[in-house]
Structure 1
């Protein structure tokens, strides 16, 4: 177990798709490069929008909530990765501010039960009752926010969204009701104005953020557990004193390009750096964006990568090496 920190499963959508294990080998290679396509072409080419069933989680994966059936009239949650449904398991994510201006604003939302009543009791996991993510549809903006709950069950959080366009909000939580499982719900959010989607950032093994270099190694194979290792350095030297952030040395969110299926895992035992390792089982072939949150010297940074989960038998194509001056592929990201 990591020094002084117990890594537990986090409210993460990924009970049906992600597991956790330790021990990434030193010979791990880079993830594969996706097929070349403009961002507007991805929707037709991307698989994974049919809701195929994902494998069951490992013993320390994410929330177990996705093994339960969905609400009446919807597909069982086990058939879908997290975040694809606004309602699941008798709970609904209700955005009170589904349209918000570009720049700084305030988002309000609630989680409602099957009777339409705002839920006020949640189970605290990794220091929070609910974790809230906002990402742009083109996957170039990422926000990991920490909303505050009022007594009536209304959540409020400031946010800074840089440009007009479509976004998606994810609420990751576990109700305090007896026997409740973890759930991740997703709802559309829009910023009005002229919209010019950015192309999906290219595959690269290294991302740079605030002077830190993060190198990604590993493979993603649909339906198979694959090890990912992210190594943090600064100025060419390994960072060996990463700080716990919400009870862990790193948090990883994966969003599938096209439908923004939400996959969220946490590190295996180890730490405090420079390596943070994960084991992931993507639900389908396709392109994903990975967002790694890590904390050092009192500040949380996010490094982002574009990776591909290859279909069985598909030829692997490794990304070309990049220089240490590679720009941060997250585009825009921040923490609330």
Structure 2
């Protein structure tokens, strides 16, 4: 083979390699449509295991001028809470160091794409912003409700009971935008030893209440979870609405603390949702592994939290077919395979 032929073969090989890489990248970057939402997200968002944010009207698409924000197609594969900044919004605490055991006036802002503190928020489940604090070992969970201190500053009384590493999440939707969950690390100074993740269990006990979990997490699929509340062996049938629902469920992936929205089925007063003992949710987790589920429920005027460790099962096996391979049908002009425009 002469030099020109060898060089041509080399270029052809590169084209095949890069073409294959591009095809694989496109395949990995393609997400199916999220499951239909019933309007009752954990804080107003559907659950997919992917972040709740999608491109808003007026934002630049893939073929428009760059905005300096992540491409929504890429961001759509990142679960919420893993980033301190997303889609131009940034969570900025005044401090990340907390004295353990002392009540602290914790203050923070959310800045928008224009660099200014956000002052306009949508109300979701009775609140403009939900604030979650967990320990890194997922043994502690706090669902707090900060108050607006003015000029875009939020303030909340926060007590971290012991030295250690913690993660704080701000769950919100700015006016004209879509839901986001931003996260930041907090530290309580002092010596500490991380605890092991609580064991997988189907029942959690809190203040004399027993909460039992039915259902399994299936990676990449909408999973039905029903949590049943009882007290002294008797089903609780008079749960009280809390933030617009009979229960709120937060799912966190062990290891990186990815924050996954979970939406309840139905709502108080809709004529079909009973006030217990069962509270049903639908969740989609992105991967196998361990997750912590935290259920907030209200009874007799007090909100309580039940925590569970759940292990997401194996990915569904690929479908198998027998017989000869199907013959490909030529696409019609203006179509992609069997799917017309």
TM-score (normalised: structure 1):
0.74
Q: Superposition pairs for residues 119-198 of structure 1, below 5 Å?
A: 119-176=118-175, 178=176, 180-198=177-195
Question: Which residue in the other structure is 2:82 paired with?
Answer: 84
Residue 128 of structure 1, CA deviation: 0.7
Question: Which residue in the other structure is 1:210 paired with?
Answer: 207
Cα distance in structure 1, aligned partners of 2:97 and 2:106:
9
More helix by share: 2
Q: Is residue 226 of structure 1 aligned with residue 213 of structure 2? A: no
Question: Which residue in the other structure is 1:100 paired with?
Answer: 98
1:182-218 per-residue CA deviation (whole Å, 9 max, x = no partner) reads 1111111111110210110001111000000000010
Residue 119 of structure 1, CA deviation: 0.7
Cα distance in structure 2, aligned partners of 1:79 and 1:226:
19
Cα distance in structure 1, aligned partners of 2:114 and 2:69:
16
Residue 53 of structure 1, CA deviation: 6.1
Residue 52 of structure 1, CA deviation: 10
Cα distance in structure 2, aligned partners of 1:53 and 1:158:
40
Distance 1:162 1:51, change over 3 A: farther
Question: Which residue in the other structure is 2:45 paired with?
Answer: 63
TM-score (normalised: structure 2):
0.73
Which among 269, 293, 296 is matched to residue 296 of structure 2? 293
Residue 79 of structure 1, CA deviation: 1.2
Q: Is residue 72 of structure 1 aligned with residue 75 of structure 2? A: no
Residue 63 of structure 1, CA deviation: 2.4
Distance 1:54 1:118, change over 3 A: farther
Number of aligned residue pairs: 263
Query: CA RMSD for the aligned pairs?
Result: 2.2
| 5+ residue gaps, structure 2 | 1-27, 47-51, 60-66, 267-272, 318-341
Which among 295, 300, 306 is matched to residue 303 of structure 1? 306
Larger Rg: 2
Given that residues 254 and 263 in structure 1 are in contact (C-alpha distance below 8 angstroms), is that contact kept between their aligned partners in structure 2?
A: yes
Q: Is residue 235 of structure 1 aligned with residue 249 of structure 2? A: no
Residue 96 of structure 1, CA deviation: 0.8
Cα distance in structure 1, aligned partners of 2:300 and 2:188:
34
Given that residues 53 and 80 in structure 1 are in contact (C-alpha distance below 8 angstroms), is that contact kept between their aligned partners in structure 2?
A: no
Given that residues 126 and 243 in structure 2 are in contact (C-alpha distance below 8 angstroms), is that contact kept between their aligned partners in structure 1?
A: yes
Q: Superposition pairs for residues 247-266 of structure 1, below 5 Å?
A: 247-266=244-263
